[in-house]
Amino acid sequence: MKKWQAWFSQSLMGIGLAAIVLVQVNIHKAYGQTASAKPVTAFSSHVATEWFSLALQLTQQTPGFSPPIASRALAYLGLTLYESVAAGIPNAQSLAGQLNELQSLPLTQPDEALHWPTVANAAMATMTRMMFPHASQENKGRIDLLERSLPLTYPQDFDAGSVTTEMTNRSQTYGKLMAMAIMTWARTDGGHEAWGPLRRTQQNYVPPSGNGQWSATPPTFAPPLLPWWGDVRPFVLKRASSCEAPAPAPYSEKSNSAFYKEAEEVYAISNRATPEQRQIALYWADDPLKTPTPSGHWAFIAGDLLKVNKANLADAAKLYAQLNLAMADAFIAAWKTKYSVHLLRPVTYVQLVIDSNWTPSLMHTPPFPEYPSGHSVQSSSAAAVLEKRFGANTRFVDNTHNDRGWGPRTFANFQTAANEAAVSRLYAGIHFRSGIEGGKVQGRCVADAVLKLRFE
């Protein structure tokens, strides 16, 4: 920890402290609004939506960004966006003091004006570079280009006539400092080293053996993905086990047991899936390196809704923070349960008990335990956050996969979409019904915790 503190201190000197101080933030104390020509609410959401649009592209095109890792990156970006502009939102509160082990963040001097789109642009550019260190050179160039081009693309937000050079420099410095402070905290969560062992002292994961226990699945028999991800520090949950999924049906190979009937359902649906069910399974698969992953899917939906509703920068910052914190904690909670229950996948059970020649026809089974369905946990948490912001009966259009020829698709409400995302894994032949339903319960629990955060 000391080495990061030393690095942070050196970095501060490198960019200049200007009008910035590092203070202890009290959870019950709102930000005092910083002097500015305009508050954050006076600006459009374009800076936020443009940066998240690029982040989704980077998520899709950067090797190693499995769904849990992608959710973590998007959560830190959402948090950085919110904290970078919170001082310019009347009565806004920092999430420092509310998130685990985040005790302090930079604040501005109240008598020094800042230009909030410039602050957000600098903060997001800085954090995006740090969250995607393995992006291609072409995509690193896109980060640089977006940072430079936003003031030209949206002159209504970057009013050169009223923003002085001094204010611009001060705003850029503050944005960079905020991103660096959050990144210093991020490096201590246990997920930053996901490219290798999360902790140097950890031994290689060895799955438990026995009836009903998970084992590697055909056809690749890949090793378990991120078995220690459940030990990553959550953002909001006090611990990964704070939101537990209800226990699955007891393991049994008897034909009259609940467990057998669930396996039989997977087997039957997979063999006789309708065209609509097959389409749903593929639509919500959100595979890494082909799509921006499940979290990116919901972040895409959120970005479209912000544009349709002509949201301001303050609204966008709050939504991106809430949504992505919920999805990141959903993956941590789900992974903790997965590697605690260690339940075998349908393909293993069906081949053992029902049909030794069967494999799911639409996609390979992911390389980690079955219970609960990560899609269920993550989608349910995302839907609950979007319901809170836009309303439970909001009809919306999902354009996430238009570029693949799979959209647009219209949903009656967020819960309908989340339920479809959840059951898609049953149609794909890779989850039992109880894993889907239990995941919904866990996801709603995570969302409830995140929606209790105080933003004002």
Q: Which tens digits make up the pLDDT trace of 41-57?
A: 999 999 999 999 999 99
> How high is the pLDDT of residue 160?
78
Alpha-carbon span 47 to 116, nearest angstrom: 10
What residue ranges define each of the domains in the chain, with the CATH number in brackets?
17-186 (1.20.144.10), 229-450 (1.10.606.20)
Range of weakest confidence among 184-193, 335-344, 347-356: 184-193
Is pLDDT above 90 for 106? yes
The 10s digit of each residue's pLDDT in 151-161 is 999 999 998 78
Average pLDDT over residues 343-353: 98
Torsion over CA: 60, 64, 68, 70 (sign): negative
236-280 pLDDT per residue, tens: 999 999 999 999 999 999 999 999 999 999 999 999 999 999 999
Instruction: Indicate if the pLDDT at residue 90 is higher than 60.
Output: yes
Task: Residue 240: name the closest of 228, 248, 232 by CA.
Answer: 232
pLDDT at residue 79 greater than cutoff 90: yes
53, burial (CB in 10 Å: exposed 0-12, middle 13-18, buried 19+): middle
Q: What sections of 309-432 are H helices per DSSP?
A: 313-341, 346-349, 374-390, 414-427
Contact indicator for 180, 154 with CB cutoff of 8 Å: no
User: What is the per-residue pLDDT across 211-229, written as a single tens digit (0 to 9) for each?
Assistant: 999 999 999 999 999 999 9
Q: Give the pLDDT score at 13.
A: 41
Q: Can you tell me the mean pLDDT for 98-115?
A: 92
**DSSP codes joined into one string, 282-308:** HHTT--BTTBSHHHHHHHHHHHHHHHH
What does pLDDT average to over the chain?
Answer: 91
